[in-house]
Structure 1
Amino acid sequence: MLIKLAVAFAVLAAGATGLSAPASAATKAPAGVFDTKAKHAILMNVDADLIFYEKDADTLMSPASMSKLMTLAVVFRELKAGHIKLDDQFKVSEHAWREGGAPSGSSAMFAPLNSTVSVEDLIRGVTVQSGNDACIILAEGISGSEDAFVKEMNKYAKEIGLTKSHFENSTGLPADGHVMTARELALLADYLIKNYPEYYHYFGEKEFVYGKWRFTNRNPLVFEDLGVDGLKTGFIEDAGYGLVASAVRDNQRVILVVSGLNTKKEREEEPRKLLEWGFKSFKPYRLFDQGEKVSDALVWGGTRHYVPLVGNENIDIILPFNTSGQVTAQIVYDGPIKAPIRKGDQVATLRVTAADTKATNDIPLYAGEDVGQSNFAMRGLDSLFVLAFGWML
């Protein structure tokens, strides 16, 4: 059963810095504090999974080239697994050349027909130049055909929690049924940052030289003093201009998605406004130091009836600047927790809600000590307590 235990907190001490504890749920900031020309938008703090702002973030839309992030997710997975290497050479097929290269009239890295290109150059061809030919060459080199690769994209997307997204190609070129939401684009960016940090730097490279070509990163924000180090632009006529961006300032990383803008100028101006507003409107607060006990959780079948709960690092939360600092909190977990329990196991969540704004942070909690399994007789007695009293110890 789901157990919720109230935890009393006084007013928080202001001025904490450095977020470390990730969270699993998110809540948007108070309505009316900001607006954007984008049809779809979301701005979230990566470490706290706190949604600063959202606008029609769950409506399916054409992601255009922003869906190339899913293409790269599969590429990074294959690299990390050792199935391919950065210096592997992939051949430029006629399909890749014709559908995504020079003859296509779309964004391309202009890889010559029948030539070979290294995986690393192809990645840069996607992250810097948004080359459709680069995407197709990678897809064919990894899976044998673009269609087979797209099946992997859809399968992997579901595995990482992108339940609404569906892909019809590796490029983001217009296709019926090729759809994502702003929220799932943000979740995908978050996944790439956390799971493939060794490859993330490709998104922030300002230029890429390939043959006689010198390509400049299509994300205009990487050239500004905003802390932006990725990720991807997108445009098709039906969807308008879009951008997935991530920025770091004062040890806070945020992710921004906008879509449905009318011009390139708006695609540069609106994200800048959102980022500046987000960094200025929210700040971290310290709740608990690393290893400090937060509360206890009930245990079934253990040598003790409770296990202490701690954070794996300092526990900080992100709240709006205009909050009073007064919060309410609950310990949430499926319990009683079954023994044996090892120190360091994630067993519960600390849910902290600002009293005035309702902004919520969910922070994982871990077992602070080992709890061994009790004997058969004691487990039977614990079961009787659960049946008779709902574990009211």
Structure 2
Amino acid sequence: MRTFTVSLLLAPVLWFAAVSAHAVTPTPQLPIPPAPSLPNVASYVVLDYQTGQVVASKDPDLRRAPASLTKLMTAYLTYQAIAGGSLRLDESVPVTQTAWKTGGSRMFLQPQLPVTVDQLLHGLLIDSGNDAAVALAENVGGSQSAFVTLMNDAAARLQLHSTHYSNVDGLPDDNLYTTAADVSRLSRDLIQQYPQVLQITKLQSYTYNKITQRSWNPVLFRDPSVDGLKTGLTDASGHCIDATALRNGRRLIAVEMGAPSWSSGTDAIEALLNYGYRFYQNRELYPAGKQVGMASHTDWSPMQVPVKVAQAVVVTIPRNREGDIQTRVLWDPKVQPPFAQGAVLGQLELSIDGKVLRNVPVIATERVRKASWLDRLWHRVRAAI
């Protein structure tokens, strides 16, 4: 692991120097090939789950009809309700006439047939049941319209800025749209907060009401490393696949939107996953609590303060490019003494070839008070020497 030396003048009397380590001479490597072009796919994103970094993309912010990818948010809010205690997995849910008569793909609910929240989640994510989506929405939100409001509130909170929901199941509507980038971010949040969702989405079939239905996710049947997440199909959306895979302990999320068939969509997902795993890797640059430098200011007492990263710093980079990572500190000029131990003093920016990989907060390792006039005078004398 290499720590990179940087010295950045932040103000006439404020500076930061990174901790130095042995230099690493990069070994010449063949260039990373470009990401798959996939001309038959409207847009795509490959996202590293651990770091949240985008490995490859094509028109990631292109707004598209999501079709049943909408149900990812329906599942997210259902799990949120379970975590909050307002819903239980084993709770029996009444099936209304509205849910029963909902068209499109179904898990075949019936008003007089018992169904639990857990069964509805299976029917939602494996069978892509529109009837399951309506039943969950009515029970979590009180009504479909109220649930749609919750969906859009959650989208804003999760910073899905190019997503808008108008229904709970993904049936065609001009006011229903999302992007490959937003789907990948929602998928990451869903798995991070509710990893139990993968215990459902990895299943290749589900039986309810004596009817067994095969999962709509075609990648499950080709790639044993894939364990989720969802698909969608309408005339407007084309064939959409949101897949996640775990290989050698590393998880990737690949989203393609607008493929002409399930076969071509599966080919696209496999090409994207293989590209991300073959040509990119995760590297820990600093462990949690690692001192990464010294910050100094003549108005501080003490004048010099070690700074560290609170969390382990892991980046997704092209293979064998660790030696090319550049670092610099972006100081926060709003920070004024006194401040406590653990105060965020700025951001450690990590980049390769001018492309920012991550910005990581750096924090003070000790409490700092405002220097007295005598301290400041002495500090300025020392700084001038």
Instruction: Please classify the TM superposition score into its range, dividing by the shorter chain length.
Output: 0.7 to 0.9
- 1:71 alignment partner AA: T
Which residue number corresponds to residue 249 of structure 1? Answer: 247
Which residue number corresponds to residue 369 of structure 1? Answer: 365
Deviation of the 1:113 alpha carbon = 2.7
Provide the rounded CA distance (Å) in 1 between the counterparts of 2:299 and 2:130.
Answer: 57
Q: Select between 125-134 and 194-203 the one with higher mean Cα deviation.
A: 194-203
Pick closer, same or farther for the CA change 1:134–1:324 going to 2, 3 Å: closer
Provide the rounded CA distance (Å) in 2 between the counterparts of 1:165 and 1:148.
Answer: 17
- 1:269 alignment partner AA: D
Which residue number corresponds to residue 87 of structure 2? Answer: 84
Aligned length: 361
Which secondary structure state, in structure 2, belongs to the residue aligned with residue 129 of structure 1? Answer: coil
Deviation of the 1:59 alpha carbon = 1.4
Which residue number corresponds to residue 98 of structure 1? Answer: 101
Pick closer, same or farther for the CA change 1:324–1:289 going to 2, 3 Å: closer
Provide the rounded CA distance (Å) in 2 between the counterparts of 1:349 and 1:324.
Answer: 20
Provide the rounded CA distance (Å) in 1 between the counterparts of 2:33 and 2:372.
Answer: 52
Provide the rounded CA distance (Å) in 1 between the counterparts of 2:331 and 2:321.
Answer: 27
Instruction: Give the TM-score taking structure 1 as reference length.
Output: 0.81
Native 8 Å contact 1:299 1:335 kept in 2: no
Native 8 Å contact 2:26 2:324 kept in 1: no
Which secondary structure state, in structure 1, belongs to the residue aligned with residue 243 of structure 2? Answer: strand
- 2:24 alignment partner AA: V
Provide the rounded CA distance (Å) in 2 between the counterparts of 1:208 and 1:333.
Answer: 54
- Candidates 322, 326, 329, aligned match of 2:327: 329
Pick closer, same or farther for the CA change 1:271–1:89 going to 2, 3 Å: same
- CA displacement, residues 5-47 of structure 1 (integer Å, 9 cap, x when unaligned): 6858843789xxxxxxxxxxxxxx9884421131110111122
Native 8 Å contact 1:44 1:51 kept in 2: yes
- CA displacement, residues 172-225 of structure 1 (integer Å, 9 cap, x when unaligned): 110121000111111101111112224442222232221201222221223344
Native 8 Å contact 1:281 1:320 kept in 2: yes
Deviation of the 1:90 alpha carbon = 1.4
Which secondary structure state, in structure 1, belongs to the residue aligned with residue 152 of structure 2? Answer: helix
- CA displacement, residues 245-295 of structure 1 (integer Å, 9 cap, x when unaligned): 111222322111100100111121110111011100112334234433112
Native 8 Å contact 1:300 1:336 kept in 2: no
Which residue number corresponds to residue 183 of structure 1? Answer: 181
Provide the rounded CA distance (Å) in 2 between the counterparts of 1:88 and 1:301.
Answer: 61
- CA displacement, residues 69-95 of structure 1 (integer Å, 9 cap, x when unaligned): 111111111111111111112111111
Deviation of the 1:321 alpha carbon = 2.4
Which secondary structure state, in structure 2, belongs to the residue aligned with residue 325 of structure 1? Answer: helix
Instruction: Give the TM-score taking structure 2 as reference length.
Output: 0.83
- 2:255 alignment partner AA: V
Native 8 Å contact 2:95 2:112 kept in 1: yes
Relative contact order, higher structure (CA 8 A, sep 6+): 1
- CA displacement, residues 80-111 of structure 1 (integer Å, 9 cap, x when unaligned): 11111111121111111112xxxx2x111001
Query: Structure 1 unaligned runs (5+)?
Result: 15-28, 385-391
Deviation of the 1:347 alpha carbon = 5.2
Which secondary structure state, in structure 1, belongs to the residue aligned with residue 323 of structure 2? Answer: coil
- Candidates 134, 153, 156, aligned match of 2:132: 134
Answering whether residue 48 of structure 2 is matched by residue 75 of structure 1, we say: no
Native 8 Å contact 1:13 1:285 kept in 2: no
Q: CA RMSD in A?
A: 3.3
Which secondary structure state, in structure 2, belongs to the residue aligned with residue 163 of structure 1? Answer: coil
- 1:364 alignment partner AA: V
Which secondary structure state, in structure 2, belongs to the residue aligned with residue 117 of structure 1? Answer: coil
Provide the rounded CA distance (Å) in 2 between the counterparts of 1:161 and 1:229.
Answer: 25
- CA displacement, residues 36-64 of structure 1 (integer Å, 9 cap, x when unaligned): 13111011112222211111111111011
Provide the rounded CA distance (Å) in 1 between the counterparts of 2:65 and 2:298.
Answer: 49
Native 8 Å contact 2:89 2:116 kept in 1: yes
Native 8 Å contact 1:302 1:340 kept in 2: no
- 1:80 alignment partner AA: A
Which residue number corresponds to residue 161 of structure 2? Answer: 163
Pick closer, same or farther for the CA change 1:80–1:278 going to 2, 3 Å: same
- Candidates 51, 54, 58, aligned match of 1:51: 54
Native 8 Å contact 1:40 1:258 kept in 2: yes
- 2:235 alignment partner AA: E
Which secondary structure state, in structure 1, belongs to the residue aligned with residue 251 of structure 2? Answer: strand
The share of aligned pairs that are identical, in percent, is: 26
Pick closer, same or farther for the CA change 1:378–1:174 going to 2, 3 Å: farther
Which secondary structure state, in structure 1, belongs to the residue aligned with residue 182 of structure 2? Answer: helix
Which residue number corresponds to residue 339 of structure 2? Answer: 340
